[in-house]
Every structure is written in structure tokens, then in C-alpha cells.
Amino acid sequence: MSYFTDLALQYIDGEWRPGNGSWDIIDFNPYDGEKLASITVATTDEIDQAYRAAERHQRAWAETNPYSRRVVFERAVRVIEDREQEITEAIIAELGGTRLKAAFELHLAKEFLREAIQLALRAEGRILPSPVDGKENRVYRVPVGVVGVISPFNFPFLLSLKSVAPALALGNAVVLKPHQNTPVCGGALVARVLEEAGLPPGLLNVVITDIAEIGDALIEHPVPKVISFTGSDKVGRHVATVAASHFKKAILELGGNSALIVLDDADLDYAVDAAVFSRYVHQGQVCMAANRIVVDRSVADAFTEKFVAKVQTLKVGNPDDATTHIGPLINANQAESVTALVDQAVEQGATALVRGTTQGNLVPPAVLTDVPADAPLLRQEVFGPVAVIIPVDGEEEAVRVANDTPYGLGGAVHTGDIQRGIAVARRIDTGMIHVNDATVADEPIVPFGGEKHSGLGRLNGEQMVEAFTTTKWISIQHRRSAFPF
């Protein structure tokens, strides 16, 4: 694929060029192990060059008429539409996403770009009254300047664009570091799309590197004012600590351990469909995935029978095959870690209703029940195709179990009574929750983010204005002030 040869480079100040590091990131296809690209890492000096280029070009971009800025994002949608098949193939190859997953990611990427078109016009100011006679108070919304974006491997194209496009639309410049497992789809391809869409050089810089080479240079650098990070809570905690020590704002979209609750009056067939999608989409490598299926005991047997039957129909294999539901995990470490968690839970007394044999990075779906309350599997995010069914006695226990986690990202409640569902949903300590739907959902204008260890701040819609602009108060005294001395 040409993307993996043409884009295996750094993109700094409008130039495609190799990195100057002493070693290479090797980009592998997680399904068959094929080497896709070899990319020489960027150094701390190149991090500095990227941020300085962004700083140089940002002010002119901020002064550009926002109606002109938004044209770039209109064109970017068309570029993706024109290249949709090529980008789909790249997503399948680089991250093992199925064709269904690639289509889902590209659909959302275009929707977020369309929202960025509107965001360009949303940085509205205010005029506020003053207790001082003759004084006028103006509060302007202005770009923060330069934003550092660190994106993950699971939805790399979408989740890079999700921060990059709004930040640019609002008049900022950006330095983007994609995950080292998805350097092309998460970084270089984003730059190529926006370059083709007419984004002026230097406003978006992509550095492909690793902390082994640059340490905390991307966060500590004096130029960026905001760091937008999507990834694990462990790394997010470090990002937040370093950013705060340098007086930078951190926007953190972190992990989850979502519960999908099935109440005693739920439509079981529909709840099964929602739960299977919520747990197994993209091999379970989704922060919003339903790690825990919490089911009222009165319907638990019937639900479990239907759930297991549907899971057993899921096809595991080549993500390039349109009939495949579950492709590979991103790398061998992830496959081994997920398999070990299942093994540990079974050794501790859990019952495996569905379980297969891991082959390479292909981890077949597992369904567990009777998982001990102190099992690590229940307390942490599981980035793999493992569902845990937990029977409970009524709403109170369902709420207690759903909240018994350090995370608070998303969830779902299934019931035949909408008002009952809303009442339960309001008691779940998460930033997002859905009544009679999947746990996996994202929409461009709805606030996205979590509570507890699931992050800080929100993205999407008006929250993007809050994230990527700041306020500036300018007062005007139309009369002469009287000073006390």
C-alpha cells in the first residue's frame, strides 16, 4: 500500500522528512505480522522544531477569517470520501480493524470534520456590564495558541482528527504524536488529508516517536498550552502530572470499565444484541466497551443462554474478510495480557461459558460468569474480547455493582420503562450512559468524557471551544476614571 511507503516520515513545517533518531519504529500488520513500514523516530530536537514551526504559523492562522478556515475542513471531508477505499485498507492492515470497524471509524471521522466546519464560527465573545460608570467590559474567546495531541491505537484516524480538527478550526496550531503501533493511520495520514485539503504548512506537525527517545519532551516543551491525551489512565496520570507542573491544561480521555445493566423488564433479545456489540466491537479494544454485563437474576439464565448463543456465531479471523467479526488484538503483548487475565479468573473459580485458544494475536471471544468479587478482571479495563456476566438482585445491587470500579466513562441500562431507565442511569457515576442502547457511542455535538479515573474535561461540540480556547478580558473606559491618589 502506498500509504505505508509514501507516509513513513515525519511531517514538520510542511515538509515530509525522515527522523534523525538512531532507531526505527517498525509498523506491523497485527494479523499476519507483515512489515508495513519502518520509520526513523523523531528526536527531542525535532519535537522542538515541530513546536517552533507551529508557534510561528499560528498567529497568522488565528487572524484568518474563520469562514476561510472552515473551507479546509469542508475539503477534508471530500478528500476522505475520495480516498475512502484506500483509507479503509490502511485501517484494516495497520490496526487489524474489521471492515465494519473501518466503516464505523471513517463515518465518525467525517462527522467530526463536519462539526469542525461549524466550530470555526463558535468562538463567541461577550459584553458584560461594569459597576464603574463609563466602563465597558469585553470578554473575547481566543485560541490557546499551540496544542499537543497524543492519540491512541484503537481508533487512530478518528481520535487524532477528533482533537486536531477542532483545535485547528478554532485558530490554533497542533503538534500530533500518534501511537507507535499506528503511526500512519493515527498521524501521517491525518497530515496528508489536511495537506490535500489546503491547510497551510506548519499548522499541523506530526512527530512519530516514542518516550524511549524523547521522554517527556512533548509535554514539557514551553510552547504548547494544552495537551490533549487519549489513552490509558496510567499514562494519563503521568501526562496530567507533568502538564500541571508546567502550568499546562490537560484534556484526558482515558480508560473505562463500563457496565451494561439488564433490568428484569428488558427486551432480552435486543439487550443481547446491544451487549454483544458493546463488548466485542473492534475485539473489545474500545474504552467504552461493556466489560461487565450486569443482569437481574430473574432473567439472568434466559439472557445468558441467548448471549452465549450469539457470541458463538461470531467469526474470528482475517479482518480483511467482510464476514469477520473479531480480528487480531493490536500486538502480542496485548494478546498475552488478555489471555492471562482469563486464565487467572478461571483459576480463581470463574466459569468459562465460551472460551477458545489464542493463536498469535487472535484472541477468540470469552464469556465468563461466577467471577470472584476480588478478581482483577472486574476492577480494571480489559482491552480484549472478554465479557463477564454478573447476576444481581434488583436495581439497588445493579447500581452498586456498576459503580464498584475506579472508572466512570460510560454504560447502558436496558429496561421496558424509559423513566425507570433514566432514574437508574442518573445513579451511575459516569460521564455518559445510554438507555436501551449500546455502551459504545459518540456524537460530534454531545459532551464526551468520564468521571473518576476515566479522565478530565470533555470533548465534542461546545466543549471543544472550552478545551481549545481561552478567555481574554478587555475593558474600555469611555470616561476619565477618578483615582484615589
Catalytic residue numbers, as ranges = 253, 287
Pairing of strands 173-177, 146-150: parallel
Facing residues of 147 across strands? 174, 226
For the chain, what percentages of helix, strand and coil (3-state, to nearest 5) are there?
40, 20, 35
Query: Alpha carbon 129 to chain centroid distance?
Result: 40
At 375, the amino acid letter reads A
DSSP string, 239-268: HHHHHHHTT-EEEEE----EEEEE-TTS-H
E-only strand ranges, 173-213: 173-177, 204-206
Please tell me what DSSP assigns to residue 74. H
Q: Give Cα 107 to chain centroid, integer Å.
A: 15
Strands 366-369 and 351-354: antiparallel
For residue 380, the one-letter residue type is Q
Convert 410-443 to b/e letters by CB count within 10 Å (16 or more is b): bbbbbbeeeeebeebbeebbbbbbbbbbbbbebe
Strand, coil or helix: 40: strand
Which single residue is written with the C-alpha cell 461577550? 126
Taking the alpha carbons of 252, 253, 254, 258 in that order, is the dihedral positive or negative? positive
Task: State the Cα–Cα distance between residues 213 and 223, nearest whole angstrom.
Answer: 20
What is the pairing mode between strands 469-477 and 135-143?
antiparallel
Residue at 42: amino acid letter: A
- CA–CA distance, 398 with 112 (Å, rounded to integer): 34
Give Cα separations from 93 to 4, 27, 89, 184 (angstroms): 10, 10, 6, 11
Query: How far does Cα 251 stand from its chain's mean position?
Result: 11
Calpha distance 423→178 (Å, rounded): 39
Q: Is 361 exposed, middle or buried (0-12, 13-18, 19+ CB in 10 A)?
A: buried
Which residue from 146, 72, 156 is spatially nearest to 114, judged by alpha carbons?
A: 72
Torsion sign across C-alpha atoms 426, 430, 434, 435 = negative
